[in-house]
Amino acid sequence: MSEETLFTKIINGDIPADVLFEDEQCICIKDIHPQAPTHVLVIPRKPIPRLSDASEADKALLGHLMLQVGEIARKLGVDDAFRVVINNGESAGQTVFHLHLHILGNKTFDEGSLGMH
């Protein structure tokens, strides 16, 4: 069996994290190195390595994650303006190979900037 990802360890409670919300399909934790005053990660329990590894079978899960992003942004009070980032692949800045959506808020982003930094 392949090794558990960092986020699977967090989901299983083997590594501590600030868990804000969770449901049967995903978990939302605070990012340990926040790039904005509000920076959380929405992580599916299913360890899909990258967005580009998702398949037709993951369609409902991906939709659920997107809806959760909106719901969580509302709960955190940043729904008026926030950024969602998915890094796909090492060169794109992905460091944890377990799909996750970054929600960044309470920060003004440059119009021309696409990244998190």
Return the residue of 95, 108, 111, 114 that touches ligand 5GP, per CB under 6 A.
95
Residue 52 CB contacts under 8 Å (≥ 6 apart), including other chains: 88, 89
- Buried/exposed 81-94: b ≥16 CB within 10 Å, e otherwise: ebbebebeeeeeeb
Return the residue of 5, 11, 17, 27 that touches ligand 5GP, per CB under 6 A.
17
Name which of 56 and 117 has its Cβ closer to ligand 5GP.
117
Of the candidates 33, 100, 102, 117, the residue annotated as catalytic is 100
Stretch that binds ligand 5GP, among 55-63, 72-80, 93-101, 103-111 (CB under 6 A): 93-101
Tokens 């989901």 map to which residue?
11
Told to judge if 64 belongs to the known catalytic residues of this protein, a careful annotator would answer no
The residues in 23-62 that bind ligand 5GP, with binding defined as CB under 6 A, are 29-33
Pull the structure tokens for residue 94.
């992905």
Start-to-end CA span in the chain (Å): 35
3-state SS class at 91:
helix
Residue 87 CB, shortest distance to ligand 5GP, in Å, is 4
CA neighbor of 105 nearest in space, from 12, 17, 31? 31
Name which of 15 and 56 has its Cβ closer to ligand 5GP.
15
Query: Catalytic positions, please?
Result: 100
Q: List residues near ligand 5GP by CB under 6 A.
A: 6, 17, 29-33, 87, 93-96
